[in-house]
Structure 1
Amino acid sequence: MTYFIPALDFGNIVSDEPAEVATTLKLIALITILSLAPAILVLMTCFTRIVIVLSFVRMGLATQQMPPNQILISLALFMTFFIMAPVFSEVNENALSPLLDGEVSQEEAFSEAAVPMKEFMSKHTREKDVALFMGYAGMDKPETLADIPLTALIPAFAISELKTAFQIGFLIFVPFLVIDMIVASVLMSMGMMMLPPVMISLPFKILLFVLVDGWYLVVESLLISYR
Protein backbone atom coordinates (compact mmCIF):
# COMPACT_ATOMS: atom_id res chain seq x y z
CA MET A 1 0.00 0.00 0.00
CA THR A 2 1.36 3.43 -0.95
CA TYR A 3 0.81 6.60 1.06
CA PHE A 4 1.18 10.08 -0.34
CA ILE A 5 2.23 13.08 1.71
CA PRO A 6 0.49 16.29 0.66
CA ALA A 7 2.85 18.79 -0.88
CA LEU A 8 3.67 21.90 1.11
CA ASP A 9 3.61 25.25 -0.66
CA PHE A 10 6.27 27.62 0.64
CA GLY A 11 5.54 30.20 -1.99
CA ASN A 12 3.88 32.53 0.46
CA ILE A 13 6.90 32.53 2.76
CA VAL A 14 9.54 33.43 0.18
CA SER A 15 9.36 37.04 -0.88
CA ASP A 16 11.55 39.55 -2.68
CA GLU A 17 10.13 42.43 -0.62
CA PRO A 18 12.36 43.32 2.38
CA ALA A 19 9.38 44.67 4.33
CA GLU A 20 7.52 41.36 4.09
CA VAL A 21 10.61 39.42 5.15
CA ALA A 22 11.10 41.75 8.11
CA THR A 23 7.47 41.28 9.16
CA THR A 24 7.91 37.50 9.01
CA LEU A 25 11.03 37.68 11.16
CA LYS A 26 9.24 39.90 13.69
CA LEU A 27 6.41 37.38 13.86
CA ILE A 28 8.86 34.55 14.49
CA ALA A 29 10.53 36.61 17.23
CA LEU A 30 7.15 37.30 18.84
CA ILE A 31 6.28 33.59 18.83
CA THR A 32 9.65 32.84 20.41
CA ILE A 33 8.99 35.35 23.19
CA LEU A 34 5.57 33.81 23.85
CA SER A 35 7.16 30.36 24.10
CA LEU A 36 9.46 31.77 26.81
CA ALA A 37 6.52 33.24 28.74
CA PRO A 38 6.66 30.60 31.54
CA ALA A 39 10.34 31.33 32.15
CA ILE A 40 9.63 35.07 32.13
CA LEU A 41 6.83 34.60 34.65
CA VAL A 42 9.04 32.52 36.95
CA LEU A 43 12.27 34.54 36.84
CA MET A 44 11.06 38.13 36.36
CA THR A 45 8.24 38.19 38.92
CA CYS A 46 7.71 37.33 42.57
CA PHE A 47 6.55 33.80 41.71
CA THR A 48 9.87 32.19 42.67
CA ARG A 49 9.91 33.50 46.23
CA ILE A 50 6.25 32.72 46.86
CA VAL A 51 6.25 29.14 45.62
CA ILE A 52 9.47 28.29 47.50
CA VAL A 53 8.16 29.73 50.77
CA LEU A 54 4.88 27.83 50.42
CA SER A 55 6.85 24.66 49.74
CA PHE A 56 8.88 25.24 52.91
CA VAL A 57 5.64 25.53 54.86
CA ARG A 58 4.51 22.15 53.60
CA MET A 59 7.91 20.61 54.32
CA GLY A 60 7.89 22.04 57.84
CA LEU A 61 4.46 20.58 58.53
CA ALA A 62 5.65 17.23 57.10
CA THR A 63 2.22 16.65 55.59
CA GLN A 64 3.68 14.97 52.49
CA GLN A 65 1.52 16.13 49.55
CA MET A 66 -0.96 18.22 51.53
CA PRO A 67 -1.69 20.79 50.22
CA PRO A 68 -1.17 19.32 46.73
CA ASN A 69 1.26 20.89 44.27
CA GLN A 70 -1.61 22.20 42.16
CA ILE A 71 -2.96 24.18 45.13
CA LEU A 72 0.41 25.69 46.04
CA ILE A 73 1.28 26.63 42.46
CA SER A 74 -2.18 28.10 41.82
CA LEU A 75 -2.00 30.15 45.02
CA ALA A 76 1.50 31.34 44.11
CA LEU A 77 0.32 32.24 40.62
CA PHE A 78 -2.63 34.34 41.75
CA MET A 79 -0.54 36.02 44.45
CA THR A 80 2.00 36.84 41.73
CA PHE A 81 -0.67 38.49 39.59
CA PHE A 82 -1.93 40.41 42.64
CA ILE A 83 1.51 41.72 43.63
CA MET A 84 2.61 42.42 40.06
CA ALA A 85 -0.67 44.10 39.06
CA PRO A 86 0.73 47.68 39.18
CA VAL A 87 3.76 46.64 37.12
CA PHE A 88 1.64 44.76 34.57
CA SER A 89 -0.72 47.74 34.31
CA GLU A 90 2.17 50.06 33.54
CA VAL A 91 3.53 47.64 30.94
CA ASN A 92 0.11 47.41 29.32
CA GLU A 93 -0.41 51.17 29.34
CA ASN A 94 3.03 52.20 28.07
CA ALA A 95 3.99 49.29 25.82
CA LEU A 96 1.37 46.69 24.94
CA SER A 97 -1.60 48.94 24.14
CA PRO A 98 0.43 51.40 22.00
CA LEU A 99 1.97 48.44 20.16
CA LEU A 100 -1.43 46.90 19.39
CA ASP A 101 -2.72 50.29 18.26
CA GLY A 102 0.24 50.67 15.92
CA GLU A 103 1.53 53.78 17.69
CA VAL A 104 4.99 52.38 18.46
CA SER A 105 7.28 49.75 16.97
CA GLN A 106 8.15 46.47 18.60
CA GLU A 107 11.58 47.77 19.62
CA GLU A 108 10.06 50.84 21.28
CA ALA A 109 7.41 48.71 23.02
CA PHE A 110 10.10 46.37 24.35
CA SER A 111 12.09 49.30 25.70
CA GLU A 112 9.03 50.78 27.39
CA ALA A 113 8.01 47.42 28.88
CA ALA A 114 11.50 46.85 30.26
CA VAL A 115 11.42 50.03 32.37
CA PRO A 116 8.79 49.00 34.98
CA MET A 117 10.11 45.43 35.05
CA LYS A 118 13.63 46.71 35.72
CA GLU A 119 12.35 49.00 38.47
CA PHE A 120 10.58 46.12 40.18
CA MET A 121 13.49 43.68 39.90
CA SER A 122 16.14 46.20 40.93
CA LYS A 123 14.17 47.03 44.09
CA HIS A 124 14.48 43.41 45.24
CA THR A 125 17.95 42.59 43.90
CA ARG A 126 21.15 42.83 45.90
CA GLU A 127 23.94 44.96 44.48
CA LYS A 128 26.33 42.06 45.08
CA ASP A 129 24.34 39.82 42.74
CA VAL A 130 24.19 42.45 40.00
CA ALA A 131 27.92 43.08 40.33
CA LEU A 132 28.57 39.35 39.94
CA PHE A 133 27.02 39.15 36.48
CA MET A 134 28.15 42.60 35.39
CA GLY A 135 31.72 41.82 36.39
CA TYR A 136 31.70 38.43 34.69
CA ALA A 137 30.57 40.07 31.43
CA GLY A 138 33.26 42.74 31.77
CA MET A 139 30.76 45.58 31.96
CA ASP A 140 31.43 48.88 33.66
CA LYS A 141 29.73 49.79 36.91
CA PRO A 142 26.27 51.11 36.00
CA GLU A 143 25.40 54.66 36.96
CA THR A 144 21.68 54.40 36.25
CA LEU A 145 19.13 51.62 36.08
CA ALA A 146 19.04 51.92 32.29
CA ASP A 147 22.72 50.92 32.17
CA ILE A 148 21.94 47.46 33.60
CA PRO A 149 21.03 45.03 30.81
CA LEU A 150 18.25 42.53 31.35
CA THR A 151 20.70 39.70 30.65
CA ALA A 152 22.48 40.59 33.90
CA LEU A 153 19.53 41.83 35.95
CA ILE A 154 17.29 38.79 35.47
CA PRO A 155 19.71 36.14 36.85
CA ALA A 156 20.78 38.54 39.61
CA PHE A 157 17.14 39.01 40.60
CA ALA A 158 16.59 35.24 40.50
CA ILE A 159 19.40 34.38 42.92
CA SER A 160 18.39 37.26 45.20
CA GLU A 161 14.87 35.85 45.30
CA LEU A 162 16.24 32.39 46.07
CA LYS A 163 18.25 33.70 49.02
CA THR A 164 15.32 35.66 50.42
CA ALA A 165 12.98 32.68 50.00
CA PHE A 166 15.39 30.38 51.85
CA GLN A 167 15.79 32.92 54.65
CA ILE A 168 12.02 33.05 55.11
CA GLY A 169 11.86 29.25 54.82
CA PHE A 170 14.43 28.90 57.61
CA LEU A 171 12.38 31.08 59.95
CA ILE A 172 9.30 29.01 59.13
CA PHE A 173 11.15 25.75 59.73
CA VAL A 174 12.49 26.64 63.21
CA PRO A 175 9.26 26.33 65.27
CA PHE A 176 8.37 23.04 63.58
CA LEU A 177 11.88 21.75 64.30
CA VAL A 178 11.51 22.71 67.97
CA ILE A 179 8.29 20.70 68.19
CA ASP A 180 10.00 17.68 66.60
CA MET A 181 12.88 17.90 69.09
CA ILE A 182 10.57 18.20 72.08
CA VAL A 183 8.47 15.23 70.99
CA ALA A 184 11.57 13.15 70.25
CA SER A 185 13.10 13.90 73.67
CA VAL A 186 9.83 13.05 75.45
CA LEU A 187 9.54 9.74 73.61
CA MET A 188 13.15 8.83 74.43
CA SER A 189 12.64 9.66 78.10
CA MET A 190 9.60 7.36 78.09
CA GLY A 191 11.59 4.55 76.48
CA MET A 192 9.48 4.64 73.31
CA MET A 193 12.45 4.84 70.93
CA MET A 194 10.81 2.58 68.33
CA LEU A 195 7.89 4.96 67.83
CA PRO A 196 8.58 7.49 65.02
CA PRO A 197 8.45 11.03 66.47
CA VAL A 198 6.78 12.32 63.30
CA MET A 199 3.62 10.35 64.06
CA ILE A 200 3.25 12.19 67.36
CA SER A 201 4.55 15.62 66.37
CA LEU A 202 2.46 15.94 63.19
CA PRO A 203 -0.89 16.57 64.95
CA PHE A 204 0.77 19.10 67.29
CA LYS A 205 2.36 20.96 64.36
CA ILE A 206 -0.94 21.11 62.49
CA LEU A 207 -2.73 22.27 65.66
CA LEU A 208 -0.14 24.99 66.28
CA PHE A 209 -0.29 26.13 62.65
CA VAL A 210 -4.08 26.36 62.76
CA LEU A 211 -4.17 28.15 66.13
CA VAL A 212 -1.78 30.89 65.01
CA ASP A 213 -3.56 31.17 61.62
CA GLY A 214 -0.39 30.15 59.84
CA TRP A 215 -1.50 30.58 56.24
CA TYR A 216 -2.60 34.14 56.96
CA LEU A 217 0.74 34.97 58.58
CA VAL A 218 2.76 33.42 55.75
CA VAL A 219 0.82 35.22 53.03
CA GLU A 220 0.92 38.48 54.99
CA SER A 221 4.71 38.19 55.34
CA LEU A 222 5.09 37.58 51.61
CA LEU A 223 2.94 40.59 50.74
CA ILE A 224 4.85 42.84 53.15
CA SER A 225 8.18 41.69 51.74
CA TYR A 226 7.26 43.26 48.38
CA ARG A 227 6.23 46.69 49.65
Structure 2
Amino acid sequence: MKKNHILLLLCLLVVTSASVFVVPTMVSAAPAGAAGSANLIPSIDFQIGDGDKTPSGTATTLKILLMLTVLSVAPAILLLMTSFTRIVVVLSFVRNALATQQMPPNQVLVGLALFMTFFIMTPTFSAVNEQAVQPFMEGKLTQQQALVKASIPFKEFMAKQTRAKDLQLFLDYMKADRPKTIQDIPLTALVPAYAISELKTAFQIGFMIFIPFLVIDMVVSSVLMGMGMMMLPPVMISLPFKILLFIMVDGWYLIVKSLLTSF
Protein backbone atom coordinates (compact mmCIF):
# COMPACT_ATOMS: atom_id res chain seq x y z
CA MET A 1 0.00 0.00 0.00
CA LYS A 2 2.79 2.41 0.85
CA LYS A 3 4.41 1.77 -2.54
CA ASN A 4 1.11 2.53 -4.28
CA HIS A 5 0.77 5.81 -2.38
CA ILE A 6 4.31 6.81 -3.31
CA LEU A 7 3.70 6.01 -7.00
CA LEU A 8 0.46 8.00 -6.93
CA LEU A 9 2.24 11.04 -5.45
CA LEU A 10 5.00 10.84 -8.06
CA CYS A 11 2.41 10.74 -10.85
CA LEU A 12 0.67 13.81 -9.46
CA LEU A 13 3.99 15.70 -9.28
CA VAL A 14 4.86 14.81 -12.87
CA VAL A 15 1.44 15.92 -14.15
CA THR A 16 1.57 19.18 -12.19
CA SER A 17 5.08 20.07 -13.38
CA ALA A 18 4.14 19.22 -16.94
CA SER A 19 1.12 21.53 -16.82
CA VAL A 20 3.25 24.36 -15.40
CA PHE A 21 5.74 24.17 -18.26
CA VAL A 22 3.25 23.46 -21.02
CA VAL A 23 0.80 26.31 -20.35
CA PRO A 24 3.31 29.16 -20.82
CA THR A 25 4.57 27.48 -23.98
CA MET A 26 1.06 27.26 -25.38
CA VAL A 27 0.33 30.88 -24.46
CA SER A 28 3.54 32.13 -26.04
CA ALA A 29 2.90 30.04 -29.14
CA ALA A 30 -0.59 31.48 -29.59
CA PRO A 31 -1.00 33.97 -32.49
CA ALA A 32 -0.97 37.70 -31.75
CA GLY A 33 -4.61 38.12 -32.75
CA ALA A 34 -5.76 35.48 -30.30
CA ALA A 35 -4.03 37.26 -27.41
CA GLY A 36 -6.06 40.36 -28.05
CA SER A 37 -5.90 42.88 -25.26
CA ALA A 38 -4.13 40.44 -22.94
CA ASN A 39 -0.74 41.61 -24.25
CA LEU A 40 -0.41 44.95 -22.44
CA ILE A 41 3.39 45.29 -22.66
CA PRO A 42 4.34 47.68 -25.49
CA SER A 43 7.21 46.87 -27.79
CA ILE A 44 10.33 49.05 -27.82
CA ASP A 45 12.46 49.30 -30.94
CA PHE A 46 15.94 50.87 -31.05
CA GLN A 47 17.48 51.63 -34.41
CA ILE A 48 20.97 52.89 -35.22
CA GLY A 49 21.28 54.41 -38.66
CA ASP A 50 23.49 56.76 -40.59
CA GLY A 51 21.49 59.79 -39.43
CA ASP A 52 21.79 63.26 -40.83
CA LYS A 53 25.26 63.75 -42.33
CA THR A 54 24.92 67.51 -42.65
CA PRO A 55 27.06 69.73 -40.36
CA SER A 56 24.00 70.84 -38.38
CA GLY A 57 22.86 67.25 -37.86
CA THR A 58 26.33 66.18 -36.74
CA ALA A 59 26.52 69.10 -34.32
CA THR A 60 23.15 68.16 -32.83
CA THR A 61 24.28 64.57 -32.33
CA LEU A 62 27.46 65.71 -30.61
CA LYS A 63 25.47 68.03 -28.36
CA ILE A 64 23.20 65.16 -27.31
CA LEU A 65 26.21 62.94 -26.52
CA LEU A 66 27.85 65.75 -24.56
CA MET A 67 24.64 66.38 -22.61
CA LEU A 68 24.32 62.68 -21.70
CA THR A 69 27.96 62.64 -20.55
CA VAL A 70 27.44 65.70 -18.36
CA LEU A 71 24.27 64.24 -16.87
CA SER A 72 26.11 61.03 -15.94
CA VAL A 73 28.89 62.99 -14.21
CA ALA A 74 26.65 65.68 -12.70
CA PRO A 75 25.69 63.74 -9.52
CA ALA A 76 29.34 63.22 -8.56
CA ILE A 77 30.12 66.88 -9.24
CA LEU A 78 27.18 68.08 -7.18
CA LEU A 79 28.13 65.79 -4.28
CA LEU A 80 31.61 67.32 -4.23
CA MET A 81 30.17 70.85 -4.29
CA THR A 82 27.85 70.35 -1.31
CA SER A 83 28.12 69.32 2.33
CA PHE A 84 27.59 65.64 1.49
CA THR A 85 31.29 64.73 1.59
CA ARG A 86 31.87 65.85 5.17
CA ILE A 87 28.63 64.35 6.48
CA VAL A 88 29.02 60.89 4.96
CA VAL A 89 32.68 60.61 6.03
CA VAL A 90 31.88 61.58 9.62
CA LEU A 91 28.98 59.12 9.78
CA SER A 92 31.28 56.39 8.49
CA PHE A 93 33.80 57.27 11.22
CA VAL A 94 31.05 56.90 13.83
CA ARG A 95 30.20 53.41 12.64
CA ASN A 96 33.84 52.37 12.55
CA ALA A 97 34.46 53.77 16.03
CA LEU A 98 31.53 51.79 17.39
CA ALA A 99 32.87 48.67 15.61
CA THR A 100 29.32 47.60 14.80
CA GLN A 101 30.33 46.27 11.35
CA GLN A 102 27.39 47.07 9.06
CA MET A 103 25.13 48.74 11.61
CA PRO A 104 23.74 51.17 10.58
CA PRO A 105 23.72 49.93 6.97
CA ASN A 106 25.28 51.96 4.18
CA GLN A 107 21.85 52.82 2.77
CA VAL A 108 20.81 54.42 6.06
CA LEU A 109 24.02 56.46 6.36
CA VAL A 110 23.87 57.67 2.77
CA GLY A 111 20.16 58.49 3.07
CA LEU A 112 20.73 60.47 6.26
CA ALA A 113 23.67 62.27 4.63
CA LEU A 114 21.54 63.19 1.60
CA PHE A 115 18.68 64.62 3.64
CA MET A 116 21.09 66.55 5.86
CA THR A 117 22.74 67.88 2.71
CA PHE A 118 19.38 69.09 1.39
CA PHE A 119 18.69 70.75 4.74
CA ILE A 120 22.07 72.53 4.89
CA MET A 121 22.11 73.49 1.22
CA THR A 122 18.54 74.85 1.12
CA PRO A 123 19.63 78.54 1.17
CA THR A 124 22.10 77.87 -1.64
CA PHE A 125 19.55 75.96 -3.72
CA SER A 126 16.99 78.72 -3.18
CA ALA A 127 19.47 81.35 -4.35
CA VAL A 128 20.26 79.29 -7.47
CA ASN A 129 16.55 78.93 -8.19
CA GLU A 130 15.86 82.66 -7.79
CA GLN A 131 18.93 83.96 -9.60
CA ALA A 132 19.36 81.42 -12.40
CA VAL A 133 16.65 78.80 -12.84
CA GLN A 134 13.54 81.00 -12.79
CA PRO A 135 15.00 83.75 -15.03
CA PHE A 136 16.19 81.08 -17.47
CA MET A 137 12.76 79.42 -17.55
CA GLU A 138 11.19 82.84 -18.23
CA GLY A 139 13.58 83.50 -21.09
CA LYS A 140 15.37 86.40 -19.39
CA LEU A 141 18.75 84.63 -19.38
CA THR A 142 20.58 82.51 -21.90
CA GLN A 143 21.93 79.09 -20.97
CA GLN A 144 25.47 80.41 -20.54
CA GLN A 145 24.30 83.33 -18.39
CA ALA A 146 22.18 80.99 -16.25
CA LEU A 147 25.16 78.70 -15.61
CA VAL A 148 27.28 81.67 -14.53
CA LYS A 149 24.53 82.93 -12.22
CA ALA A 150 23.99 79.45 -10.75
CA SER A 151 27.70 79.03 -9.95
CA ILE A 152 27.85 82.16 -7.78
CA PRO A 153 25.88 80.78 -4.75
CA PHE A 154 27.89 77.56 -4.89
CA LYS A 155 31.15 79.51 -5.02
CA GLU A 156 30.11 81.56 -1.99
CA PHE A 157 29.24 78.42 -0.03
CA MET A 158 32.39 76.52 -0.96
CA ALA A 159 34.71 79.48 -0.41
CA LYS A 160 33.58 79.77 3.23
CA GLN A 161 34.56 76.13 3.90
CA THR A 162 37.76 76.05 1.82
CA ARG A 163 41.18 76.70 3.33
CA ALA A 164 43.26 79.34 1.58
CA LYS A 165 46.20 76.93 1.50
CA ASP A 166 44.25 74.32 -0.45
CA LEU A 167 42.89 76.87 -2.91
CA GLN A 168 46.31 78.39 -3.45
CA LEU A 169 47.70 74.94 -4.24
CA PHE A 170 45.47 74.55 -7.29
CA LEU A 171 45.80 78.19 -8.33
CA ASP A 172 49.59 77.84 -8.34
CA TYR A 173 49.36 74.66 -10.37
CA MET A 174 47.14 76.48 -12.90
CA LYS A 175 49.55 79.47 -12.80
CA ALA A 176 46.54 81.70 -12.27
CA ASP A 177 46.55 85.06 -10.57
CA ARG A 178 45.08 85.47 -7.13
CA PRO A 179 41.36 86.22 -7.57
CA LYS A 180 40.11 89.51 -6.20
CA THR A 181 36.57 88.33 -5.42
CA ILE A 182 34.85 85.01 -4.82
CA GLN A 183 33.14 85.24 -8.21
CA ASP A 184 36.55 85.36 -9.91
CA ILE A 185 37.65 81.99 -8.47
CA PRO A 186 37.55 79.33 -11.22
CA LEU A 187 35.47 76.27 -10.41
CA THR A 188 38.21 74.02 -11.73
CA ALA A 189 40.36 75.11 -8.78
CA LEU A 190 37.66 75.73 -6.17
CA VAL A 191 35.94 72.32 -6.38
CA PRO A 192 39.02 70.12 -5.68
CA ALA A 193 40.25 72.60 -3.04
CA TYR A 194 36.87 72.44 -1.33
CA ALA A 195 36.88 68.62 -1.51
CA ILE A 196 40.24 68.19 0.23
CA SER A 197 39.31 70.83 2.81
CA GLU A 198 36.13 68.92 3.57
CA LEU A 199 38.08 65.68 3.91
CA LYS A 200 40.48 67.24 6.39
CA THR A 201 37.62 68.68 8.46
CA ALA A 202 35.81 65.34 8.41
CA PHE A 203 38.94 63.51 9.56
CA GLN A 204 39.42 66.01 12.39
CA ILE A 205 35.88 65.36 13.59
CA GLY A 206 36.40 61.61 13.18
CA PHE A 207 39.54 61.74 15.33
CA MET A 208 37.61 63.39 18.15
CA ILE A 209 34.91 60.72 17.83
CA PHE A 210 37.43 57.88 18.12
CA ILE A 211 39.03 59.06 21.39
CA PRO A 212 36.33 57.96 23.92
CA PHE A 213 35.84 54.61 22.20
CA LEU A 214 39.59 54.05 22.14
CA VAL A 215 39.71 54.64 25.90
CA ILE A 216 37.00 52.00 26.40
CA ASP A 217 38.99 49.49 24.29
CA MET A 218 42.15 50.15 26.30
CA VAL A 219 40.34 49.75 29.65
CA VAL A 220 38.65 46.52 28.58
CA SER A 221 41.91 45.10 27.21
CA SER A 222 43.75 45.92 30.46
CA VAL A 223 41.03 44.29 32.57
CA LEU A 224 41.01 41.14 30.44
CA MET A 225 44.81 40.85 30.61
CA GLY A 226 44.69 41.33 34.37
CA MET A 227 42.14 38.54 34.65
CA GLY A 228 44.22 36.25 32.45
CA MET A 229 41.62 36.14 29.68
CA MET A 230 44.04 36.91 26.87
CA MET A 231 42.31 34.55 24.42
CA LEU A 232 39.00 36.43 24.67
CA PRO A 233 38.70 39.16 21.98
CA PRO A 234 38.38 42.57 23.70
CA VAL A 235 36.00 43.76 20.98
CA MET A 236 33.32 41.32 22.16
CA ILE A 237 33.39 42.83 25.64
CA SER A 238 33.89 46.49 24.71
CA LEU A 239 31.14 46.62 22.07
CA PRO A 240 28.20 46.63 24.55
CA PHE A 241 29.93 49.33 26.62
CA LYS A 242 30.49 51.45 23.51
CA ILE A 243 26.85 51.19 22.51
CA LEU A 244 25.75 51.93 26.09
CA LEU A 245 27.97 55.03 26.24
CA PHE A 246 26.74 56.20 22.85
CA ILE A 247 23.13 55.84 23.97
CA MET A 248 23.67 57.55 27.34
CA VAL A 249 25.23 60.66 25.79
CA ASP A 250 22.65 60.69 22.94
CA GLY A 251 25.40 60.23 20.38
CA TRP A 252 23.42 60.67 17.18
CA TYR A 253 22.05 64.00 18.42
CA LEU A 254 25.55 65.22 19.26
CA ILE A 255 27.00 64.06 15.94
CA VAL A 256 24.27 65.70 13.87
CA LYS A 257 24.42 68.88 15.96
CA SER A 258 28.19 69.06 15.50
CA LEU A 259 27.84 68.63 11.74
CA LEU A 260 25.17 71.30 11.46
CA THR A 261 27.12 73.82 13.55
CA SER A 262 30.31 73.09 11.58
CA PHE A 263 28.71 74.71 8.53
Query: Greater shift after overlay, 35-44 or 69-78?
Result: 35-44
User: Contact (CA 8 Å) 1:99, 1:106: kept in 2 or not?
Assistant: yes
Cα distance change, pair 152–183 in 1 and its aligned pair in 2 (3 A)? same
- Per the alignment, residue 115 of structure 1 pairs with 152
- Per the alignment, residue 8 of structure 1 pairs with 49
Count of residues in correspondence between the two structures: 218
- Per the alignment, residue 106 of structure 1 pairs with 143
- Per the alignment, residue 161 of structure 1 pairs with 198
Q: Cα offset for 1:197?
A: 0.4
d(CA) in 2 for partners of 1:149, 1:171: 33
SS of match in other structure, 2:175: coil
Q: Give the superposed CA RMSD.
A: 1.9
- Is 2:170 aligned against 1:133? yes
Gaps of at least 5 residues in structure 2 are 1-45
d(CA) in 2 for partners of 1:155, 1:124: 12
Aligned pairs (5 A) from 1:1-227: 8=49, 10-11=51-52, 14-15=53-54, 27-226=64-263
Cα distance change, pair 33–97 in 1 and its aligned pair in 2 (3 A)? farther
Q: Cα offset for 1:205?
A: 0.2
Cα distance change, pair 96–32 in 1 and its aligned pair in 2 (3 A)? farther
User: Contact (CA 8 Å) 1:41, 1:47: kept in 2 or not?
Assistant: no
Query: Greater shift after overlay, 66-75 or 101-110?
Result: 101-110
* Paired residue type of 2:49: L
Runs of 4+ in 1 over 4 A off after TM superposition: 14-17, 20-29
* Paired residue type of 1:133: F
SS of match in other structure, 2:230: coil
Cα distance change, pair 127–48 in 1 and its aligned pair in 2 (3 A)? same
Cα distance change, pair 22–86 in 1 and its aligned pair in 2 (3 A)? farther
Could you give the per-residue CA deviations for residues 159-189 of structure 1, whole angstroms, max 9, x where no partner exists? 0000000000000000000000000001101
Cα distance change, pair 7–71 in 1 and its aligned pair in 2 (3 A)? closer
d(CA) in 1 for partners of 2:185, 2:198: 18
Q: Could you tell me the TM-score, scaled by structure 1's length?
A: 0.90
* Paired residue type of 2:247: V
- Say which one has the larger Rg: 2
Q: Cα offset for 1:146?
A: 2.0
d(CA) in 1 for partners of 2:48, 2:118: 45
Relative contact order (C-alpha < 8 Å, sep 6+): which is higher? 1
Could you give the per-residue CA deviations for residues 63-87 of structure 1, whole angstroms, max 9, x where no partner exists? 0000000000000011001100110
d(CA) in 2 for partners of 1:213, 1:130: 37
